[in-house]
Chains A and B, each alone.
Chain A
């Protein structure tokens, strides 16, 4: 196996650029973690608290997936596979709420 066959293997020059992004994302994630804790002390209503906490968590998760897991530069096949998974994941998450709503109407 020679390196010229490794078509999807990154080169050192690209990695140098990535490393700067890793450090930036690391600092942002640390700050957002502290912001999450601070927001939880504000005694917001439940709806607002859930929106804020999950909103910040989603931003943090997107940074981890996009930068650390290289999803932002990943091949379409992987992204499509994950989009399909995400659809079923959201279906799982929303099912309890939708079932509650339907029960209340009946």
Chain B
């Protein structure tokens, strides 16, 4: 009995929903993620409204580094979706290229982020220093954990996980699509974090 038989509807659509379980599952997970970040965005608004003074992000944080990271994440979103498109076109070589680039771009994002964090710690700016830095480190730290998680999954799909392409190509393509949806969500969160933390 194959794994595809044990876990139903990994490839074919369920008759009731018209969707396979992979897609339903990842979208439900992303909905919970929206609420996780939504709660923290609400906390940001509450803290900012309640503060007597609120610093301009650019006066403490590095806008060029954050802008570079935005461009890096957007690029990685494109390489991610291109890796999925390559599988639909049955071009495994291109999939490896684009997925590899996605992992590398994720790594570039993390290197820039850690450089930013190191500079803050060097100047003795910690989460305990003030409310702005507390919410900055909470939001960007949680986001960075998501980038890290996405990188681990993408690296697995690029490496050992890609063996599935030979035995169950459609199931593997769906896995890459689900990983891609998560990766785009991570990009989407950063698109909002960049202006609210660094520019306003």
Per DSSP, are chain B's interface residues mostly helix, strand or loop, or mixed?
A: helix
Asked if residues B85 and A22 are in contact (CB atoms below 8 Å), the reply is yes
Query: Digit string of A31-52 for contact with B (CB within 8 Å is 1, else 0)?
Result: 0011011001000001001100
With A15-B88, A50-B200, A68-B81 in contact, do A5 and B49 touch (Cβ < 8 Å)? no
Instruction: Answer yes or no: A95 CB below 8 A from chain B CBs.
Output: yes
Q: Chain A: interface residue count, which band?
A: 35 or more
A42 nearest CB across to chain B (Å): 11
B191 and A64 contact, CB distance less than 8 A = yes
**In-complex Cβ contact of A8 among B18, B31, B58, B188 (8 A):** B18
Contact A92/B38 with A11-B88, A12-B89, A78-B19 known, Cβ cut-off 8 Å: yes
Question: Can you name the residue of chain A whose Cβ is closest to the Cβ of B88?
Answer: A15
Residues A78 and B46 in contact, CB atoms below 8 Å apart: no
Residues of the A chain whose Cβ atoms lie less than 8 Å from the Cβ of B31: 81-82, 84-85
Query: A92 near B49 (CB under 8 angstroms)?
Result: no
Q: By the criterion CB–CB under 8 Å, are B170 and A9 in contact?
A: yes
Q: How far is the CA of A34 from the CA of B15 in the complex (A)?
A: 45
Which B residue's beta carbon lies closest to that of A29?
A: B74
Assess whether A5 is in contact with B85, with CB atoms less than 8 Å apart: no
Also in contact, A22 and B194, with CB within 8 A (given A37-B63, A77-B19): no
> A5-B11, A22-B82 given. 6 additional CB < 8 A pairs?
A1-B171, A12-B90, A22-B81, A61-B192, A64-B77, A85-B35
In the A-B complex, the 6 residue pairs with the closest CB atoms: A5-B12, A53-B195, A96-B46, A40-B199, A89-B38, A85-B31
